[in-house]
Each structure stands twice: as C-alpha cells, then as structure tokens.
Structure 1
C-alpha cells in the first residue's frame, strides 16, 4: 500500500521561506536509516522538530535521539524557546541527510 505524503503548511514553514523538502536521515557512524523528516527553508539542520518527524512516530517520546543499531547518541530533547516547540538538538556531524522525492519515500512499519 502506497502512502501519499503531504507537507505540513503552517506559520513555521512560512517563517522559513515557504518551501519544504523531505530528508532521509541516517546515523553518520553506521549509516542506519533513522527517519523521514520535513525540512523547511534553507540552511543547515540544527534541530529536528517533533511535528516534522514523519516516520517512525516512536522517536518523539524519547529524551535522547539514539541510533537503534550502534546506540550512538545523536541529539538531545529540548524546547526551542523562540517558538515553544519540542525538538531534538543535534550534535555536529552526527546525522547524514539525503533529499528524497515524495514519490520515492518508503515508510517502514512500527515495531
């Protein structure tokens, strides 16, 4: 069964230039795929906002963002004060990202 993904469009997206792209995020150390994420606007990836994590959903309720394969801690949970939004603050060089087209995204089943 194919899932059609649509970008969230809200004030946060508009504040960041009004365009989005899908990212496939992987652990830099072991290359294990972690998630599909909606990145809004230009610039580097510093934070992962919980409302932009598409799959899997179980990442949103943890204190640390940790690779399931190699157990490397990739980021810590925080509240971005400017917007009062929960997010993971990423450690430099911990995440490998790849831009993917919406029709090429494969969502994995929750375990």
Structure 2
C-alpha cells in the first residue's frame, strides 16, 4: 500500500537536492564543506533502514545499485515525521518552488 506521503516526498526531493547543491557551491567558494545529507548513513540503525529502503523503495520496488543522490534524499525524507514534511512543503510553497 502506498504511503500518503509518497507524492509529497517526490515533490520535495528535487527541491531539497537543488538547495543542497546551491549551498555546496557557496561554501566551496569559501573553502568550506557542507554536509550533503540529513542523516549519518553509517549509524547502525540508519544503515539497517537504508538497506531495507534499497530493497523496497517508496514505490515498493528495489533500487538499482548504486542509488542516486535523489534516491538518498527520498530515503531521508521518508524518515521524517509528516509534520516536518508539511513544514518543508510550506517553506517551498512560500518561496514559489512548490
């Protein structure tokens, strides 16, 4: 059964990724690094959840290896509470991106 949040995650993922890319460009010009992801994939619990996600992505099918950056963003968004997803969506709506 498809989660009611899948469509919102699919809409948010490219926006979050675009924002991360822009931030990385800005910090690179100052010789700083920016964290690309919300979560540490090497944490034992997160790694277990990620491995499950690779087998059954948002649409229920396995992801091909290696997964892309957008797949990683979708995974991270899928772990967020629906209230956080709504707040992200509202932020992007106010910016005219969603």
Q: Which structure shows the bigger proportion of residues in helix conformation?
A: 2
What is the TM-score with the length of structure 1 in the denominator? 0.25
Q: Which structure shows the bigger proportion of residues in strand conformation?
A: 1
Kindly indicate whether structure 1 or structure 2 has the higher relative contact order, using CA contacts under 8 Å at least 6 residues apart. Answer: 2
Query: Of the two, which has the highest radius of gyration?
Result: 2
